[in-house]
Amino acid sequence: MLRRPSIPVAKLVAALLGFTVVTLGPAHAQTRLSELPTTEAYRTCILETQKDTEVGFEAAIAWRDEGGGPPAMHCVALALFDMGQLDEAAKRLEALADKMPEASDAERASVLGQAGRVWLQLRELDQAHTVLSKSLQLDGNDPELWIDRGEVLARSQKFWDAIDDFSTALDRAPGHVDAFIFRAAAYRLINVDDLARDDIDRVLDIAPEHPDALVELGALYAKSGALDDARAVWIQVLSLAPNSPAAQAARSGLEQIDVKVE
C-alpha cells in the first residue's frame, strides 16, 4: 500500500489560520505564550515546533504548565511526534481526546485520527484500528478517517473490509484521489484487477501525472506481464517526483522487474 502523509495538524490548526504569529525565542517562550490569547498562542506554538522542534517543545511544555490546557497539550504531542517519540505522541494524542470537554465531536475525532495515524506508522495495527474506529463513532462524515482505517485494515490483509472503508470515504467525498488509489491497490492485492484499473483510470482522468496513481498503474502492468509498460510508467514517476515516497516505490518496482528479466 502507498504511504499516507505524516501526521497533519488537521482541523484544529485550520480553524486558527489568519491570526497574528509571534516568533518566540528560547528565553521568552514561557512568558510570551502564556500572555497571548489562546488561539494565537496555539498557532504560534505549532509554527514554532515546525521551525525549531526543541524550542517549540520547551515552549509548549511551559505553556501547558502555566495552564494552557488542551491546546498546549496538543502542541506538546505534535512536538513529540516531530522529535521522533512516536509512541509517546500517540499516547498523548489519544488521552487528549478525553480532555477536551468543550470541543466538538469532529475536533475530538480529528485528534483521535492523528493518534491512529501515529499508531499506524508504528505498525501497531490493533491499536490503530481501535482508535480510528472510536474516531469514526464521533465523526463518520470525515473521509480521511475512513481512508486511514482502510489502510490499517489493508495492512492487516483484511482487504475486503478495507475496500468497504475506502468506498465509504468515496461516498463522503466523491472523487477523492487517495481513496481511489488505496482502493485500487486493495483490489489488485485480491486479484480484482479490472476494478483496480477502473479506479486508477478515474484518478488519471483527473490528474494524468499523479505519481502515486502511476505507481499503482505500473504495479498492474507488472502483474499482467507487461513489463515494458510497467518500466516506462515507473521511470516517468522518477522524473515527475524523484524524491517522493512514490519514487521509492517505483525504484523498488524497477528492481523487481529487472531481476525477473535477468
Residue 149 and residue 165 in contact, taking contact as beta carbons nearer than 8 Å: yes
Q: What is the pLDDT of residues 202-250, one digit of tens each?
A: 999 999 999 999 999 999 999 999 999 999 999 999 999 999 999 999 9
* Spans of all domains in the chain: 1-139, 143-206, 208-262
* CB 212, CB 2: distance < 8 Å: yes
For residue 51, count other CB atoms closer than 10 A to its CB: 11
Average pLDDT over residues 59-64: 91
How far apart are alpha carbons 80 and 252 in whole angstroms? Answer: 31
Which CATH number describes the domain made up of 1-139? 1.25.40.10
pLDDT tens, residue by residue, 11-29: 443 333 333 334 444 444 4
Do the first three CATH levels of 1-139 and 143-206 match, i.e. the same topology? Answer: yes
What DSSP state is assigned to residue 224?
H
pTM for this model (two decimals): 0.83
Q: What is the CATH number of domain 143-206?
A: 1.25.40.10
Burial 190-220 (b: 16+ CB within 10 A, else e): eebeeebbebbebbbeeeeebbbbbbbbbbb
Q: Per the structure block, which three cell numbers stand in for 252? A: 523498488
Picking from 59-63, 138-142, 156-160, which range would have the lowest pLDDT averaged per residue? 59-63
3-state secondary structure at position 25: coil
